[in-house]
Amino acid sequence: MEKKQLLKQYFGYDSFREGQEVLIDSILEHRDVLGIMPTGAGKSLCYQIPALMLEGITLVISPLISLMKDQVEGLNQAGIHAAYLNSSLTPGQYRKALLFAREGRYPIIYVAPERLMTEEFLDFALHTRIAMVAVDEAHCVSQWGQDFRPSYLKITEFIEKLPVRPVVAAFTATATREVKEDIIDILMLREPTLMTTGFDRKNLYFGVMAPKDRYGAIKNYLDCHPGESGIVYCLTRKMVEEVCEKLEKDGFSVTKYHAGLKDGERKENQEDFIYDRSLVMVATNAFGMGIDKSNVRFVLHYGMPKNLESYYQEAGRAGRDGQPAECILFYNGQDVITNQFFIENNQDNQELDEVTRRIVAERDRERLRMMTFYCFTNDCLRDYILRYFGEYGSNYCGNCSNCLSQFEDVDVTEMAQAILGCVRECRQRYGMNVILETVHGADTAKIRGYRMNQNSFYGQLKTIPVYRLRQILQYLILKEYITPTNDEYAVLKLTEKAGVILEGQERMTMKLAKEQEHPARVKTGKGASGGQKGSKRALLSGEGFGEREEALFERLRQLRTQIAREEKVPPYIVFSDKTLTHMCMLKPETREAMLRVSGVGEHKYEKYGQRFLECILEERQKADMEGEL
């Protein structure tokens, strides 16, 4: 069967997305490939379709049990036999899966990297035709990647043991230049086809807020997005527990996930979220890699991640169906100190030698610095992220909190001189808060104890709001007039550049928001940073989508939930929100019309199509009776 026939029959799509066909053709020509494609761009199809066409088995190396389970469920629902091999299986289940694989029942097998070099799996692989090794989340192979896993280094050793070298295909959503080079070198890809489709996710709205009450801002957001599924990321387990407990008391459908929970509770909570039994997941970064839940309409960060790779990967779990979704980061100055502590006490790289470990730590500090600047930049947030990954845009996306705020150029030279002068006069002994409190004239025991009330710059900027002074100080750090030390206290030090401002040789101009803060305007129907409309309304908006279509969408979603419970699979495995939206637009009445809906393949039509057609017909008849047609 041809690749486009497979695409339509099993996955329900009429055409390939950008980059998919080039990678698929290269694999079918037995060429190695490296695909760098954003979350939701369809990386998995790039190895799943060739797996159905190549002679032999495709091994997909995947880092997480949840990722494997999700992918295998999706393939089985589409009518493709697949299995996974990991520690969640009993010895009997594991041996049975290997037996079926030997018999050729599975064209695709997902396997954890830790399993590759075990005696039982090696015996299977050495006596089976392996057509392709697909490495998912390939950034894990690089010590410069945000999720470096030493077990991924076993992949090359495993491939070298095979009697015939298979095609090697590597895929990731986030990779800087260094990580890309690492993937090619460590996996020993041979003249690979390189495909980078770009990192931009145009359907995602990006916002940054620094509210005084972070929990109140989160609660306000959830109040204004009822019935929507989303993730709230927290920096620590303690914070997860506190936020989840508060949300439960406030009546929200919420669950939690972090590494401190028992395995059974983690699994149950994850399934509650995936199966839509709990709408909101509060979690640390231990949750999410490989979770293919397509109807996540928002990702809120209750604190700043330690680098942009992590942030973009976590934020990218929103809107995987390509429909509008929101990603909002709620920032607090304490987040920097918390992340610095994590970096200094990192236990993840114990297998590295001391020199390399120090290099990695220094690199982590630089990445934290870039992440911090994201929270304070007044430039386009999307463009800031894309520049970090080596892409350049117009610096205006029209779909982030900065692009939707009004700014003005402000001369801040005198304020900058006061801040720099204060740092110099106290002989560069204090951190950000002490300096800001000093120039603002705070009368506290700490300031008096440090004798900073005797500093000649004390109270010089008392008429300027503290949040504005903090913006200027962050800008001075961004432009490298000041640098904080990399320790627990983050003491501010002047750089050589500071002299030109202190001596009046240069003026300093900043682009500042006209309003005092980016307010949460969700109460008025806009996004949480004054941006786009609520993601559900945006999802169901557009020409030809009115109240009747919204009512039909809800009916179809209810039917999907009912089927998912019967089949014991997540609702999005049945059909995605995007597919239901397309059904509402087309309102198919026949099998042929239903197969024209994006995401409806022949196998899924045979399983579910008639029930959805009947639901659409019932809504049409109801509308006729009410005189709406």
pLDDT in the model for residue 185:
93
Beta strand residue intervals within 106-228, DSSP E: 108-111, 130-135, 167-172, 193-196, 204-209
Indicate left, alpha or beta for 398 from its phi (over 0: left) and psi (-120 to 50: alpha).
left
- Per the CB < 8 A criterion, the answer to whether 37 and 19 are in contact is yes
% of the chain with per-residue pLDDT over 90: 52
Instruction: Please tell me which residue, 476 or 338, carries the higher pLDDT value.
Output: 476
Residues 238-258: tens digit of each pLDDT: 999 999 999 999 999 999 999
pLDDT at residue 532, as a whole number? 42
The structure tokens 């979603």 sit at: 557
pLDDT in tens, 82-113: 999 888 888 899 889 888 988 888 999 999 99
User: What span, in angstroms and rounded, lies between the C-alpha atoms of 479 and 320?
Assistant: 35
Q: For the chain, how are helix, strand and coil distributed in percent, rounded to 5?
A: 45, 15, 40
Identify the H or E element spanning 230.
strand 229-234
Strand pairing category for 82-85 and 108-111: parallel
Q: Is a pLDDT exceeding 70 seen at residue 548?
A: yes
pLDDT of residue 258: 92
- Going by C-beta distance under 8 Å and a sequence separation of 6 or more, which residues neighbour residue 359? none
117 pLDDT higher than 70: yes
Domains of the chain: 3-196 (3.40.50.300), 204-388 (3.40.50.300), 407-513 (1.10.10.10), 540-625 (1.10.150.80)
Give the range with max mean pLDDT: 364-378, 478-492, 527-541. 364-378
The token duo for 426 is 């106290």
pLDDT exceeds cutoff 70 at 499? yes
Strand order in the sheet with 204-209: 204-209, 325-330, 296-302, 229-234, 280-283, 254-257
Whether this model's pTM surpasses 0.85: no
